[in-house]
Amino acid sequence: MTHPTAELPGDIFRRIFQCTPNAALIRDADGIVLAANAAFEALFGAEEADIIGRDLREVVRPDSESGPEGEVWSLSGSAFLRETRWAAHDGGAVDVSLSQFPVGLLAGNPVSCVIFRDISGRRRAEEQLDAAERKYRSIFENAVEGIFQTTPGGRYLEVNRTLARIYGFTSVAGMTEHFRDIKNQLYVDPKRRDDFVRKLSAHDEVHNFESQIRKKDGEVIWISENARVVRDAAGEVAYYEGTVVDITDRKRAEEQLAAQRAYFDQLFANSPQAIALIDMHRNIVDANQAFEDMFGFRAEEIKGFGMRTYIVPEHLLGECESTRSAILSGKPLVRETFRQHRDGRLIPVSMIGFPIEFGGRQQGIVYIYQDISERKAFEEQITHQAFHDALTGLPNRSLFADRLERALTRGKRRGDYQYAVLMIDLNKFKGINDTLGHQAGDHLLVEVSKRLLACVRTMDTVARLGGDEFAVILEELKSRKEVMTVVERIGSVLAKPYVLCGATVTPGASIGIVLRTREYESAEDILRDADIAMYRAKESGRTSMIFDRQMHQEILEAISLEADLRAALDRGELLLHYQPIVDVQTGRIEGFEALVRWDHPDRGLVPPVRFIPLAEETGLILPLGRFVISEACRQMRDWQLEMPEAGALSVSVNVSCRQFVKDGLVEHVSRVLAETGLDPACLKLEITESVLMHDAQHTANELNKLKALGIKIAIDDFGTGYSSLSYLRQLPIDHLKIDRSFISGDDCNGESQEIVKSIIALARSLGLTVIAEGVEHQDQLDKLRFADCDKAQGFMFSRPVDKDAALHLIRDAINGGCGCG
């Protein structure tokens, strides 16, 4: 059988060479091109005629990076196949699969066939695939999310570096090696893996699947997973792939937000303060339980409606709107106001309002209300207590001063406005307090306040300024007569008897009146002058007195005189005069009464009647009294030392009530006697019956102490007071001094004479000596002798004289005369 190739055309191999789609050429051992096909011409852009006979290296050359050039040209060794890049004729580059193999001999030299197969398309596809792979790998490795592939059984196939970092690993290999059982090793709650797989099985994907997992070091974090099922060609599950995000910070923020929300919800729900949330349209968004309790409306029934409709009183709608505007201007507001309960009553509230902002815009207002009814009631009570007298309920001094200040201002503003001020003081309040007790005194003050209120109109003011002192403002007056009518009514009403603790008393009152109030600039001045007029009424024994400028001038004079008296005590301007006390039967001098005089450098000799009451009132009587006792004792001792015959003389010193009740009198007398060396029996202290009545126990104690020193005690002005005979029996009294009104008064021949006899008889029964004051005429002395009186003093014997004149009287008495002219 003949082989098929024997029948092939003779030029078949040339045809193959010429028609192959691959570029081909024939070259000799030196690289000279012997032939090139059309595909070569097309691939490298060179005509066959241009390249035949040329060195192949001049036509095309392999790229410098393609590999060893010698191997391309060499015909030694076996044939080879290589992919490389060749430079084209036009300067371009062509990727080819190069094969070279020997095909025979020409003139004894080897000839090779070189075939260039264009692989540019494949190479571009490979490069694109490689670029895509690099891109995917870059995304995979550098993604901010963790990326994973896991088997359904719970092992990691592949993870990226981000996931490894999330789970606390330094390398991907370390992580994949660590986790053999994702369910039990990774999840805090292994059931979450079951839930994850279950959802994937049901839907082939899962989104935002949140779980707590444990990192490599045991730290628990939150993750969110998105995953899908990847199936093979048969539809079976090949693996799961997905992403992981660490949401721990978000979870913590959510927990904090939830906690804050819980705090707010509980604060809103459980706050004892009423809270209402209002939108920008003034409608109620919500209200808490305290709001419902405070105002009586259920939140559900008022939501969506304007709050003003329910709890804002009609007269406060304007205030409500201005409040809202202020809050929306960005200023939180605190205000006390009123809101209305469902039943219509007004509730005083403390209100806080502030705007709600979110999304960069104001979205509404929060109002917080607190019921301040109790506080307001307490404040009113405190205010009332601060400005009202606790005992009588009348306005006190502070409130009275405020109302008087308003009246003063009103009087300056209105030409037709007239008012008057009264100052009222009870006359015998202290005596009632001392004898009947403070409870009776309190009852008296309450009753007085009621009677005063009944005497005035509602527009007038009655106040208790303190103690038994009351004041009245009479307003909108038309005439002076109208004021005096009220004054007479008050005087009449207060003079009526009071029944206190079973006793009936009639204290009466003194009223000071200021009428011409338009002349004043201050309320204090009005009160001052009303007080002056009241004291003048009390001093004169009148029920009332209207203030005039002369009274004020006299007060200024008294103030000036007081200052001068204080200075006089320091400068030694005071001196003593002495009036002799004589034996009624013999006319001999028995002693002297020391009487203080004031030789003022400008005023001259100031009468005692002017400065002694002032000293009593101001308390200067204490240093003044000490001076008189000291000076009288010193002077008497000087006389005795100069004339021993005067050793039996005594000196009498008046002691005021204020001196006597103040501690220190006994000590002062004892010290003076010791310093001067005067025999205590030569000193007589004269006290008035008012001292005996002031405090019987204290009086007895002090008199007994003085008596223990050896001095004599006399009751001065006896018969004008209210001393009890029992007091005279109990107290260590030596002398009774009959008041001058019974000796030289208008009725000295009638009833007074009988009183004198009674006093002398009383003294005899008590073993006391009687001294009569104010003897001016012989007939008065004769009557005293007839009545068996012991001693007397008066102008008949001598006026009070200075120490030198008194010394002459003593010498005359010692030299045989009576001593008195």
Amino acid at 41: E
Q: Which two tokens stand for residue 417?
A: 């406005």
If you average pLDDT over residues 674-700, what whole number do you get?
84
Number of H helices, E strands in the chain: 32, 32
Residues paired with residue 118 on neighbouring β-strands, in sequence order: 96
Average pLDDT in the chain: 86
Of residues 554 and 616, which shows the higher confidence score?
616
Rounded average pLDDT over 711-739: 77
Quick one: average pLDDT of 455-461? Answer: 92
Q: Which two three-digit tokens encode residue 315?
A: 């007269």
CA distance 567 to 611: 13
pLDDT category, 385, cuts 50, 70, 90?
confident
For residue 36, report the phi and psi dihedrals to the nearest 5 degrees. -145, 140
- Name the pLDDT band for 10 (thresholds 50, 70, 90): low
pLDDT of residue 90: 61
Question: What confidence tens digit (pLDDT) does each residue in 74-123 have?
Answer: 544 356 667 777 776 566 778 888 888 888 888 888 888 889 888 888 88
Q: What is the pLDDT of residues 496-538, one digit of tens each?
A: 998 888 888 888 899 999 888 888 888 898 898 899 889 888 8
Q: What is the C-alpha separation between 759 and 723, in angstroms, rounded?
A: 12
Q: What are 91's two structure tokens?
A: 């300067």
Q: Residue 647 in 3-state DSSP?
A: helix
CB–CB of 530/423 below 8 Å?
A: yes
Q: Is the pLDDT of residue 143 over 70?
A: yes
Closest Cα partner for 769 from 504, 574, 585, 608? 585
Q: What is the pLDDT of residues 63-72, one digit of tens each?
A: 665 555 555 5
Higher pLDDT, 317 or 603: 317
Q: What is the pLDDT of residue 57?
A: 78
Strand locations in 341-485 (E)? 346-358, 361-371, 420-426, 461-466, 469-474
Q: What percent of the chain has pLDDT over 90?
A: 39
For the beta carbon of residue 32, count every other beta carbon within 10 angstroms. Answer: 14
How would you list the strands of the sheet with 461-466, edge to edge? Answer: 461-466, 469-474, 420-426, 509-514, 544-546
Place of tokens 């699947």: 209
End-to-end CA distance of the chain: 213
Overall average pLDDT of the 614-623 stretch: 82
Give the pTM.
0.46
| 16-40 pLDDT per residue, tens | 888 888 989 888 888 888 999 988 8
Report the SS3 class of residue 574.
strand
- Stretch 420-436: mean pLDDT: 86
Give Cα 464 distance to the centre of its chain.
32
In whole angstroms, how large is the CA radius of gyration of the chain? 66
